[in-house]
Structure 1
Amino acid sequence: MENRYLEAGNYAPVSEEVSATDLPVTGELPRELNGRYLRIGPNPRGGVDPATHHWFRGAGMVHGIRLRDGRAEWYRSRFVESDQGAPNTNIVSHAGRLLTLIEAGKPPVEISPDLARMAVWDAEGALSRGFTAHPKVDPVTGEMHAMTYNPRFGEVRYVVLGADGRAKHTADIEVPDGPMVHDMALTESRVVILDLPVTFAAAKRRMRAGLLVSDLPFTWDDQHTPRLGVMPAGGTAGQVRWIEAPAGFVFHVLNAFDNADGSLTMDVVRYGQVFTHDVRGPSDTPPELARWTVDPARGTVKEELISDYRVEFPRVDPALTGRRHRYGWFAGFSAHGLKITDDVDRDPAGGFGTGPLIKVDTETGTTTLHEYGEGRVTMEPAFVPRPAATSEDDGWILSVVHDATVNRAELVVLDAADLTAAPVARVHLPTRVPFGFHGNWIADL
């Protein structure tokens, strides 16, 4: 049985780890970019059943590009290896550590800056039950907030790690059905739990009924009411205010912030449904950028679409995490056409796909695209502020771009304030980087 997430084009895994130095560059790399761009995704290593393989499964492979003083010093790809699994979803920096992340039961695996050494890191046991793919770091306190879960347990565990990497706070919050909690929201004063209708319980029901399932133990759950849990940052289970949410599923939150009237705003990428027709990937319905205004006092969520384009992998200036933002950068979603108004057929078998880079002004709704050229599509962007930046979009966008015409990848640097301009620089990589999930710029300290 064919499985595009395993066999088609740039979804197919690569078999070898690669190292290369003195990478060729078109254009001129900003000398201020001193650090590493690190990206991770699933890269199955064999023994996979195409009939059941889900895109979210498979050992993680890290791809790293070292930039310094206007040069691209090296590219390296390495499989994540540890005695407790191989995280495949995100790679972040915290408390002087580079951490590869996955949700639902596995702790992070720390990796050295040269990608050579790896070891499980569980914050002295605080993360032994697992972590998350999307922790949020408060830019003022340096604290890392995370909603962690494990399908074997009946709760979400809220964890706060200090800037030093030590656990400062934990709280267990009971939730029914074992929901997939891929992301969370953080404001200056509150955190939000996403308790949405993709659950472990629904996967078990489908399996007992003999329906088509994948090796991801979560699926769409019509019986699970979507809701948000709003609680004070550093709060406990008794302080959670549950509010029914719009129907659908959210993998990713762009950002969230408090409002003067006591409500909070969340910009989210929302799907109408996932894992129903396409049980091996998130392509059932197209993702749309929505603004949720959450009013805990009234127990309401107001939804407003804020872009005409289908987008995924949202990014904001990290310095504005939990604070009011204006701009977001995204990978355009191409499997269903780019504009929401495009008259295209839904084709779950076509799978999930990205296209151009998209910048959205959330205040005006203005959308700007950067097209990379024929056969070239972006992966998740990362915003890097210019030193002494004078505006929210004063900086660069870095993303890995797949070029199907040569079957290789590039790290492309764009001016974040002017996506219509030609790339500032293109770093030519020696191999392709399979479509995966998340990447981040880790600046030298």
Structure 2
Amino acid sequence: MCKPRASSDALASQPAASPSSRRSSSSASAKRRPAATGASSSSPSTSYSGTGPSGAATGTGTGTATASAQRRGATSSSSTSSASSGRASLAAARASLPDPPVLYPFQELAAATNSFLAKRAGGAASASAAAYWRCSLRGRDAALFQLPRRPGAAAVDAAALARVGRYHHTSLARLLGACPAGAHLYLAYELPPGAATLAACLRGPRNPSFTALRSWVSRLQVAADVAQGLEYVHHHASAVHGRVSAFAVIVSDPGLRARLTHFGAAELAAPADAREVAHSPYAAPGSSGSEPSREADVYAFGVLLLELLSGEEPEKYRFDRGTKEFQRVSVVETAAAAAAEGGVRNWVDRRLGDSFPVSAAERLVEVALRCAALDLEDRPDMMWVAGKVSKVYLESRVWEQKLQVPTEFSVSVAPR
């Protein structure tokens, strides 16, 4: 602090400069200013101290203005690039979403199905919930189901379709649209290439001994897909399916991935009547309620899981030589008897060729029997069921990779 004061005193003690010396000093200062200004423009962040207050102010001010201009340009370019990136992301997100379902006119559906005279696939021609028409709607392969309309319900409009079609999941079939016509409702779903119903994959229509699901992991893949689809319907869509069966599951190739159809039928179509519920193998014995529920969905999935494991129909009639009568036998009863006697290994579908982990099969049978409990309160939540099935599926994938069993022949460690 002493040095600046001494410097000022020395300057004050000097004699006054002459006019000529002042002119030469001002001209020298003027010659130095452009250089200082040029230096400040090339180096905006540099501060100057020896050119006088005006020179320092000029250099610093020019550097600050240049830096501000550069910062404004960088900010503008970054905001422009951010906006363009946001628009591209939004466009990509919109492109990934499925098209909203549409209302098809009755004449278009009639033309696609030869006035509904074309042969149905997936089941008997009289079973409206099982059979469907394979057709092409506006350039897309579709499966068209005919369901009874809810009596006295309001007409199906675009708002109702939007409520159903806003949910999209990998385990749910994509709804293309609907057509209410008289007492029936037609629902169209996108049909993947080489797709067939789960019932047709388990038991060929022409050759019941043939199955497209020849490996243990392929069966568990279907079970995990259906379980995750139902879990999505119950807990993420806050809805009820109401028509779970092997005829409502579409299996596509490659990968043998399963998709659940009839999602939204509980809202758009009429519930099954008491007679249909009483004769349905996917409904609990003595079930008389026609309104769908989550507990009914869980029971139906339990039957479906046992059907996957055994390869048998959910129910069939066997002739009893003792009574000379046909007796109804359900897959739930045979699975419960096998679990009680420790014979799950002999109960599993023989077409799998003994190439499956027995402990995993026993755990899945236990899960399925809990789902098919007669008491509603004893049935588990679908989230718990999907977790158990997915865990066994992942363990089975690890088992398959370690074993590497060829599918052409079977491996048995003990006689059945």
TM-score exceeds 0.5: no
> What TM-score do you get using the length of structure 2 for normalisation?
0.24
Q: Which is bigger in relative contact order (C-alpha 8 A, separation at least 6)? A: 1
Q: Which structure features the higher share of helix residues?
A: 2
Rg larger for? 2
